């Protein structure tokens, strides 16, 4: 048995959950391996420590609450039972009286009103239309759908105009895109207009053309502009021209980024984020930065240090930074505070990250589009940041 | 133990109390569905797990809809955004040596996944077998084994200096 297998099985060995054969193998390895023996001793000490400290006393208030709940329940039923019996008896009397009145009463013209029509329907067997029930507002309906689990239909799955083709060695891209379709249902995707379709021809013309789709991990439209994300060291990012601005501006920031491949082989994922302003026709001028995130398992201190950096975005109301939240690869986005950079401009937060269905999404409050105000969703992950969809929340 | 399981899952006493209370209420209501009284513990823990999962799910839903309210972007008093994914605490360092054992253990535990914490507590404190833990959590037996191993290894590394010679 090698070290790795031994380490994997030490915990089960400690718990007596290892099959006999594996146990014998492990014990023979332990006999000749002081290093693994030390790990086992550490695990035993850990067990003792957990035993000693991890049990918290139950608060007295909780005990009282639980017992109070027990006491209250019968009292509730005791009150309810005679009330129910009384109401049932009353209903029985009424029905009996109604029947005793005879058929002529039943066929008498009904009084106006919903209650009368309902009574007629129930007594004569005719199916009268029910009085109209006020409908929920659209918002509530969506909320109800969300609660029912079909909420994902509301996401209008749309990819950025540049991304769908997935050409040029974009195997990983194509894979993640199909994963998204699988996860959120092809039906909703087919039914909803794509972002590209929703955009006017002028808008589409002003969007950047992505020369190398494989390199682009995602794009975000922000007020008066967009941001692109791509992974450092990506083949496409290191080779081709990456992006072309609509008016043929060279995009100095982009060229600079293109010249920088990943510095070293590391479990840390490095993303490059650049924001540009469509009106300025200059890519990379607003903000270009890199940020890194460590996927689960990046344990070395050097890797953790490398993840301490963040990328900054400048939006119209201030500066925001996106940074990895920890060893699990979470993303955090927050606005600069005066303590950070002296940026005191108050205002709304345009970005946020939320978690749903086990995935993390970047929520972007997009107020850029002339006829449309919407939230856009970007699926975040250590491997990808992809536009997932958008929700219209009203006109200007 | 139900309270401790809830505490490890939720990570705070207020939620743990709510979860415990809900779990007991559900257990009392569903007492008739308990076929094997000898498995009452497992059954109650499973209810606790489900209560926690439902809470997490509904919290996510609440969080999602919160983003649609008009003041969704308001910042907290300390300048931090109102909505934010909580990042794990800083990794253990040398200061840990000086801290109380319990505090160090709590800090290390807080960096684990909630389910891993719960699994570990079920194993270490309640002495549940891997099969029982699999039944309680609804996780495959092999996964239980690997998750316990992974959680212990993470704790061992974080608690490193404190464990040396402990209990010997």
From first to last of its 396 residues, what are the pLDDT tens digits of chain A? 777 888 888 888 888 888 888 888 888 888 888 888 888 888 888 888 787 776 777 777 676 666 665 554 444 444 555 565 666 677 666 655 554 444 433 333 333 333 333 333 333 334 344 333 333 233 333 333 333 332 222 222 222 222 222 222 222 222 222 221 112 222 222 222 222 222 344 443 443 333 332 334 444 444 444 445 454 444 333 222 233 332 222 233 333 333 333 333 444 455 555 444 334 333 333 334 444 444 444 444 444 444 434 444 544 455 555 554 444 444 455 554 433 322 223 333 344 555 555 665 555 544 433 334 455 556 655 444 555 555 554 443
At residue B111, does pLDDT exceed 70?
Answer: yes
Task: Chain A: give the shortest CA distance to residue B114, in Å.
Answer: 13
User: Can you give the pLDDT at residue A6?
Assistant: 85
Closest chain A residue to B92, measured at CA: A301
Cβ distance A8 to B146 less than 8 Å, yes or no, reads: yes
At residue B5, does pLDDT exceed 80?
Answer: yes
User: Can you give the pLDDT at residue A226?
Assistant: 47
> For the ranges A4-13, B29-38, B75-84, B117-126, which has the lowest average pLDDT?
B75-84
- Contacting B residues, span 132-151, partner chain A, CB-CB under 8 Å: 145-146, 148-149
Residue B7: count other Cβ atoms within 10 Å of its Cβ.
Answer: 23
The mean per-residue pLDDT over the stretch B56-76 comes to 44
Please, which residues bridge with residue A386 across strands?
A379
Helix, strand, coil distribution of chain B in percent, nearest 5? 70, 0, 30
Cβ distance A46 to B156 less than 8 Å, yes or no, reads: yes
* Residues contacting residue A205 through CB under 8 Å, at least 6 positions apart: A246
Instruction: Starting at the earlier edge strand, list the strands of the sheet with A374-380.
Output: A156-157, A385-392, A374-380, A359-366, A351-356
Q: How far apart are the first and last CA of chain A?
A: 68
At residue B30, does pLDDT exceed 50?
Answer: yes
Task: Chain A: give the shortest CA distance to residue B55, in Å.
Answer: 13
At residue B89, does pLDDT exceed 50?
Answer: no
User: Can you give the pLDDT at residue A307?
Assistant: 40
Counting every residue written for chain B, the total comes to 168
Instruction: Starting at the earlier edge strand, list the strands of the sheet with A311-315.
Output: A311-315, A318-324, A331-335
Task: Chain B: give the shortest CA distance to residue A63, in Å.
Answer: 9
Rounded-to-integer distance, Cα B110 and Cα A70, Å:
33
Give A68-75's long-range contacts (Cβ < 8 A, gap of 24+): A69/B21, A69/B24, A69/B25, A69/B28, A70/B28, A73/B28
Residue A245 · residue A283 · CB < 8 Å = yes
Rounded-to-integer distance, Cα A29 and Cα A23, Å:
10
Q: Closest to A46 (Cβ–Cβ): which among B24, B85, B159?
A: B159
**In the structure encoding, which two tokens stand for residue A277, read together?**
């302003």
Is this prediction's pTM over 0.90? no
Rounded-to-integer distance, Cα B60 and Cα A139, Å:
18
Residue A138: which H helix or E strand, with range? Answer: helix A138-147
**Chain A residues touching residue B125 (CB < 8 angstroms):** 50-51, 54-55
* Residues contacting residue A42 through CB under 8 Å, at least 6 positions apart: B156, B160, B163, B164
Q: How far apart are the first and last CA of chain B?
A: 28
B69 touches chain A (CB under 8 A): no
Cβ distance B85 to A325 less than 8 Å, yes or no, reads: yes
User: Can you give the pLDDT at residue A15?
Assistant: 86
User: Can you give the pLDDT at residue A369?
Assistant: 36
Half-sphere exposure of A187 (CA within 13 A, CB side): 5
Rounded-to-integer distance, Cα A14 and Cα A50, Å:
14
User: Can you give the pLDDT at residue A140?
Assistant: 34
B81 touches chain A (CB under 8 A): yes
Closest chain A residue to B63, measured at CA: A354
Rounded-to-integer distance, Cα B138 and Cα A363, Å:
32
Which is more confidently placed, B56 or A177? B56
């Amino acid at each position: 048995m090698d070290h790795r297998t031994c380490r994997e099985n030490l915990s089960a060995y400690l718990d007596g959950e290892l099959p006999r054969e594996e146990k014998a193998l492990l014990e023979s390895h332990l006999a000749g391996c002081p290093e693994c023996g030390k790990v086992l001793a550490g695990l035993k000490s850990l067990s003792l420590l957990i035993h000693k400290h991890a049990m918290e006393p139950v608060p007295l208030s909780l005990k009282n609450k639980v017992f109070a709940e027990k006491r209250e329940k019968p009292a509730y039923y005791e009150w309810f039972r005679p009330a129910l019996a009384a109401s049932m008896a009353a209903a029985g009397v009424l029905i009996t009286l109604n029947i005793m009145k005879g058929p002529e009463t039943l066929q008498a013209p009904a009084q106006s009103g919903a209650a009368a029509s309902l009574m007629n329907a129930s007594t004569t067997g005719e199916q009268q239309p029910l009085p109209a029930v006020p409908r929920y507002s659209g918002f509530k309906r969506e909320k109800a759908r969300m609660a029912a689990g079909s909420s994902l239909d509301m996401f209008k799955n749309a990819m950025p105009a540049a991304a769908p083709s997935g050409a040029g060695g974009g195997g990983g891209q194509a894979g993640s895109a199909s994963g998204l379709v699988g996860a959120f249902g092809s039906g909703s995707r087919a039914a909803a207009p794509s972002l590209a379709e929703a955009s006017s021809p002028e808008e589409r013309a002003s969007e950047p053309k992505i020369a190398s789709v494989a390199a682009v991990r995602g794009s975000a439209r922000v007020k008066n502009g967009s941001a692109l994300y791509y992974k450092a060291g990506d083949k496409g990012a290191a080779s081709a021209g990456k992006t072309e601005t609509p008016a043929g501006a060279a995009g100095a920031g982009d060229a600079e980024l293109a010249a920088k491949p990943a510095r070293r082989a590391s479990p840390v994922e490095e993303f490059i984020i650049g924001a540009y302003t469509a009106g300025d026709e200059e890519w990379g001028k607003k903000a270009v930065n890199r940020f890194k995130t460590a996927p689960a398992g990046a344990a070395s201190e050097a890797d953790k240090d490398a993840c301490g950096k963040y990328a900054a975005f400048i939006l119209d109301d201030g500066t925001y930074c996106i940074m990895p939240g920890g060893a699990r690869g979470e993303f955090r986005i927050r606005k600069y505070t005066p303590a950070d950079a002296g940026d005191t401009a108050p205002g709304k937060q345009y970005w946020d990250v939320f978690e749903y269905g086990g995935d993390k999404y970047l929520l972007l409050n997009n107020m850029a589009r002339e006829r449309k105000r919407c939230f856009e969703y970007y699926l975040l992950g250590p491997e990808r940041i992809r536009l997932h969809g958008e929700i219209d929340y009203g006109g200007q | 133990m139900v309270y401790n399981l809830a505490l490890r899952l939720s990570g705070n006493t207020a939620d743990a109390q709510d979860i415990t209370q809900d779990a007991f209420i559900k257990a009392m209501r569903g007492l008739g569905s308990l076929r094997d009284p000898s498995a009452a513990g497992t059954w109650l823990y499973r209810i606790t797990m489900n209560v926690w999962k439902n809470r997490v799910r509904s919290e996510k839903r609440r969080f999602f809809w919160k983003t649609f309210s008009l003041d969704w972007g308001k910042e907290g008093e300390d300048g931090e955004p109102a909505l934010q994914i909580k990042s794990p605490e800083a990794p253990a360092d040398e200061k840990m040596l000086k801290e109380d054992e319990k505090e160090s253990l709590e800090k290390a535990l807080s960096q684990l996944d909630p389910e891993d914490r719960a699994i570990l507590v079920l194993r270490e404190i309640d002495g549940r077998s891997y099969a029982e833990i699999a039944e309680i959590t609804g996780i495959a037996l092999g996964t239980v084994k690997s998750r316990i191993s992974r959680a212990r290894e993470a704790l061992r590394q974080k608690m490193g200096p404190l464990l040396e010679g402990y209990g010997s």
